[in-house]
Amino acid sequence: MASLLDDPPTIAPPEGEAGPTWADAWDAMMASGRPGQQSAALQAMLERIQGNPVGTETTAPTRFLDQAQPDFQPGVQMGALGMASRRFADTTHAIMDAAKGWMLGTNLRGGPFDAVAPVERSLPAANYRTPLSDYAPTLYRQAAPSEVLDYIPGMRMADKTVDTPFFADHPSIALGQGGNKDGVLLAFDSNGIHGQINASKPSFEPSWRSGYGEYRGTHNDQAAYQNALIGVRIPDNLTMTRLEARHMQNVAGRLKAAGWESRDGPGYTEYRRPRE
């Protein structure tokens, strides 16, 4: 069965109400990787999938059913209406899941380091250990050359379950984490990494509200970090010992052998995990 995201339902506005359809809003949202530029389109999409429009008695699932089966008369077969309601709910959840990364400030069409402007948000209600994907789709860490080996499969075994590495949800605030100034910038898919928000800094609240967050990974094994790694950016002017320089050469060789894409940027070389 094809995914509903492959063919998003086109829901016309209620009679007398102008506005884009779901498909129009979806296409507009997906065409942009910049939160804010298409906020009107996203809002229009949300309005189409929530509750009753003002001044009408037609529910959203019924409108969905009317579009899917124009000849069907609501109320004749409650089972069919229930099926339409479930399909409507599934579509809503699928759209919101796909929109999550966009709303959190991830460039869906870019690379692992192509983060866009953060989105303002409210303070979290709690701060327990949780999948960090609850907060951000991509995590960043600047690591010393000697630490990078821990995150490259096959390079070095390490017990990371006792480690609590810092991460950030934007590259600009990952710089110098843990004293690793001017180190190697790493990007991780947040799925599979658990931890907590780092709320210890005095500037935590204003930074978080502005869309910038820092986190600490907790009780993740080495495989979790290695499987989540999606990008490695090595500065051209990285300060290294002769041993660390050899290690970085080995890192680059191993990533290329594993099919990672290599790109030269202004002052750095970047490696991207191949898409599965």
26-40: average pLDDT: 46
What is the chain's alpha carbon radius of gyration, rounded to the nearest angstrom? Answer: 23
86 confidence band (pLDDT: 50, 70, 90): low
> Within 13 Å of residue 97, how many CA atoms lie on the same side as its CB?
8
Q: Measuring CA to CA, which residue among 81, 91, 106, 110 is closest to residue 48?
A: 91
151-163: average pLDDT: 94
For residues 78 and 121, the model is more confident at 121
107 confidence band (pLDDT: 50, 70, 90): very low
pLDDT at 165 over 80: yes
Domain boundaries, the chain: 22-103, 130-272
pLDDT at 171 over 70: yes
Please, what is the average pLDDT of the chain? Answer: 74
Q: How far apart are the first and last CA of the chain?
A: 21
pLDDT score, position 176 = 66
164-170: average pLDDT: 94
18 confidence band (pLDDT: 50, 70, 90): very low
Cβ distance 66 to 40 under 8 Å? no
pLDDT score, position 113 = 87
Report the 3 state secondary structure along 8-48. CCCCCCCCCCCCCCHHHHHHHHHCCCCCCCCHHHHHHHHHH
Burial class, 227, CB count within 10 angstroms (exposed 0-12 / middle 13-18 / buried 19+): middle
pLDDT score, position 118 = 84
How far, rounded to the nearest angstrom, does the alpha carbon of residue 105 sit from its chain's CA centroid?
8
Which pTM was predicted? 0.63
Cβ distance 45 to 35 under 8 Å? no
Cα-based angle 214, 201, 215 (whole degrees, multiple of 5):
20
